[in-house]
């Protein structure tokens, strides 16, 4: 059995990093995960010998992808806040 997911990111650099991070998942002997980045997309292909492990690994993969998305969002917000603070400081000078 096979499941294919395509995830979209803001840019190609983030998609490439996501593909590298998400492909690090350690799987059992009868399951496989392949991630490839193309432009600002990551395509993940998960294969397993039956539905139950396919569902479990798909759920785990999507959870990991959500953590990656959330991390990128937090970093972006933090960077935006730091830029705003620096800009305020420059204006006061």
Structural domains in the chain, CATH included, are 2-92 (3.30.310.50)
What's the pLDDT score for residue 4? Answer: 97
Q: Where are the beta strands (DSSP E) in 1-93?
A: 2-8, 31-38, 41-48
Mean pLDDT by 10 residues, the chain (93 residues): 95 93 82 92 95 93 94 82 62 55
State residue 12 phi and psi, 5-degree precision.
-65, -35
Q: What is the DSSP letter of 25?
A: -
């Amino acid at each position: 059995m096979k499941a294919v997911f395509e995830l979209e990111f803001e840019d190609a650099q983030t998609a490439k990093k996501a593909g590298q991070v998400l492909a690090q998942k350690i799987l059992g002997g009868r399951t496989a995960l392949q991630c490839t980045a193309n432009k600002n997309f990551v395509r993940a292909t998960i294969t397993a010998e039956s539905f139950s492990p396919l569902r479990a690994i798909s759920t785990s993969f999507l959870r990991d992808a959500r953590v990656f998305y959330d991390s990128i969002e937090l970093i972006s917000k933090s960077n935006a806040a730091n830029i705003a603070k620096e800009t305020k400081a420059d204006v006061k000078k």
